[in-house]
A and B are shown apart, each in its own frame.
Chain A
């Protein structure tokens, strides 16, 4: 019960805190709109207007990913800059449970990106918004947010040892957008990319949303998103414990 309380209160706190940051909000909303706009024009120029809703959904998931990545990259770094990282690590609560609400909050902020991207497509490009399976679509959204937030936890954990996490997280934005098939069908990518896509939750989150919206069987994809999320929790907890001990031993925790 105390664990649940810590996670929920931390999650709400970080959502409120991040919502007050214009920089974070603008980045979370603007970047996916940018990618979506270019994709709309490209697909339209290629005479494939039927794929616009497909692109719109992909860009919406990218919005969640962008927000998660930006937040995860900053999760450790912001605490370092504010001088609170040592306090959080030294607190009685496991650091894993302190970090988890932050990465979940960053992916939750992705709701703004998802909503704005779908609205942008509907209002400016006239992309019809018709969902075949509304219930599955409603389930796919929180599953995607959870799956991506937990992937963010793994990234944030590995960033404990890396002082320039923001640079690495910025770099990861477009490769993951590319290899997870959010905007480009996986069949167009080289075969060696596919296994990478399979272990990344955005692949399954985007597929789940598309299957629910365009018609298909979204539940296996939703299940895969959540299943990967569980795997990320285990990996994240292990990495965080290991890297935290290493950072304390080497006295590099607060080095910026």
Chain B
């Protein structure tokens, strides 16, 4: 029961307490407007280069933008607490760590999925792309999955937050790597072999490919393999992030370095 409270109530409370972007003055430009401009920018570069359809860029960029709310927010669960000097209090509590950290990820996943869905809807409407009605529910599932796998990566970034101070810099780099490698704006076939191989192990790659196929009319069962791969990648990042969090938490206690970075 206590774990359930830590998971649900603790997660929502930490989300509300840590993120000043919940102010509409920040949320609207950052979460709602920016992804649409990212879509328009790359769609127009695509038109200039005559390389892909608008639908390719709308789907790729809308899903990739989940990286902003998910990776940044998860890493902020460590960096933000440390900035407010509350990290030590959190970690000395007897609360079990799985509900503590996974509970914090739940609102992040919801927010990431909403951001992506809004960008997809508005970007698609502006550029006039057509998506079959039958694809909407599977697309929603894919969006949630992409948000969850990005949150897994964010958990890993949060763990690294025990070691480095500039998590914002790290997350900007992560965002850029996902933008280049995951087939967001350049098809994996057009990237060098080592980049497309590396992309197979990154969140979003399989989810974006699945979403594009769904938008072209494929059934959910047809893309089940891609969706499964996306879930697996996200799960592995989440597990790696959790394991690293525990290990570095222990290290920071042993060496008294919790507040140092």
Which A residues lie at the B interface, using CB under 8 A?
22-23, 26-27, 30-31, 34, 37-39, 41-48, 51, 162-164, 167-168, 170-171, 174-175, 177-178, 183-185, 188-189
Interface residues of B in 90-148 (CB under 8 A from A): none
Q: How far is the CA of A39 from the CA of B42 in the complex (A)?
A: 9
Interface centre among A41, A43, A44 (most CB of B within 10 A): A41
Closest A residue by C-beta to B38: A174
Partner of A189, one of B25, B26, B44: B44
Known: A34-B179, A45-B49. 14 other contacts (CB 8 A): A23-B169, A26-B173, A38-B42, A38-B180, A42-B42, A42-B45, A45-B51, A171-B37, A178-B37, A178-B40, A178-B41, A183-B45, A185-B48, A188-B47
Residue B187, interface by CB 8 Å: yes
- Write out the residue numbers on chain B whose beta carbons fall within 8 Å of the beta carbon of A45: 49, 51, 186-187, 190
Question: Within 8 Å CB of A164, what residues of B?
Answer: 23, 25-26, 29
Asked whether any CB of chain A lies closer than 8 Å to the CB of B216, the reply is no
B interface residues, tally (CB under 8 Å): 34
Q: Could you jot down 16 A-B contacts, CB within 8 Å?
A: A23-B169, A30-B172, A31-B172, A38-B45, A38-B179, A38-B186, A41-B180, A41-B185, A42-B46, A164-B26, A175-B37, A175-B41, A178-B41, A178-B44, A183-B48, A184-B44
Separation of A177 and B176 alpha carbons in the complex (Å): 17
Q: Is B163 an interface residue (CB 8 A)?
A: no
Q: Tell me, in angstroms, the Cα distance from A37 to B51 when the chains sit together.
A: 15
Residues 166-180 of B contacting A (Cβ, < 8 Å): 166, 168-169, 172-173, 176, 179-180
Alpha-carbon gap, A26 to B49, bound state (A)? 28
Residue B257 is within 8 A (CB to CB) of chain A in the complex: no
How distant is the Cα of A44 from the Cα of B46 in the complex, in angstroms?
11
- Within the complex, the shortest CB–CB distance from B51 to chain A, in Å, comes to 4
Considering the chains assembled together, what is the distance between the CA atoms of A95 and B88 in angstroms? 41
* Residues of A close to B185: CB separation below 8 A: 38, 41-42
A190 to chain B, nearest CB (A): 10
**CA–CA, A31 to B172, complex, Å?**
9
Cβ–Cβ contact A167 & B50, under 8 A: no
- The verdict on B85 contacting chain A, using a C-beta distance below 8 Å, is no
User: Would A167 and B190 count as touching, CB distance under 8 A?
Assistant: no
Contacts of B166 in A (CB 8 A): 22-23
In the assembly, what is the distance between CA of A184 and CA of B45, in Å? 6
- Measured CA separation A168–B51 after assembly (Å): 31
**Which B residue sits closest to A189, measured CB to CB?**
B44
Partner of A174, one of B30, B41, B47, B49: B41
A128 to chain B, nearest CB (A): 19
Known: A170-B29, A174-B38, A178-B41. A26 touches B172 (CB 8 A): yes
Asked if B19 lies at the interface with its beta carbon under 8 angstroms from chain A, I say no
A174/B37 contact (C-beta < 8 A), A23-B169, A34-B180 known: yes
Chain B residues with CB under 8 Å of A185's CB are: 48
Per-residue interface assignment for chain B, residues 66 to 108, with 1 indicating a CB less than 8 Å from any chain A CB and 0 otherwise: 0000000000000000000000000000000000000000000
Residues of A within 8 A of B172 (CB): 26-27, 30-31
Q: Output the nearest chain A residue to B47 by Cβ-Cβ distance.
A: A188
Which residues of B from 23 to 38 have beta carbons under 8 Å from A?
A: 23, 25-26, 29-30, 33-34, 37-38
Minimum distance in angstroms from B26 CB to a CB of chain A: 4
Given contacts A164-B23, A167-B21, A168-B29, contact A42 B44 (CB under 8 A): no
Judge whether B191 is part of the interface by a CB distance below 8 angstroms. yes
Please provide the 7 A-B residue pairs with the shortest distance between their CB atoms, ordered closest to farther. A46-B49, A46-B51, A171-B29, A45-B190, A41-B186, A167-B26, A34-B176
B50 engages A46 (CB within 8 Å): yes
Min C-beta distance of B69 to chain A, whole Å: 13
Question: What CA separation (Å) do A222 and B179 show in the bound complex?
Answer: 34
Q: How many Å from the CB of B203 to the closest CB on chain A?
A: 18
CA of A154 to CA of B186 in the docked complex: distance in angstroms?
36
Residues of A within 8 A of B48 (CB): 43, 51, 183-185, 188
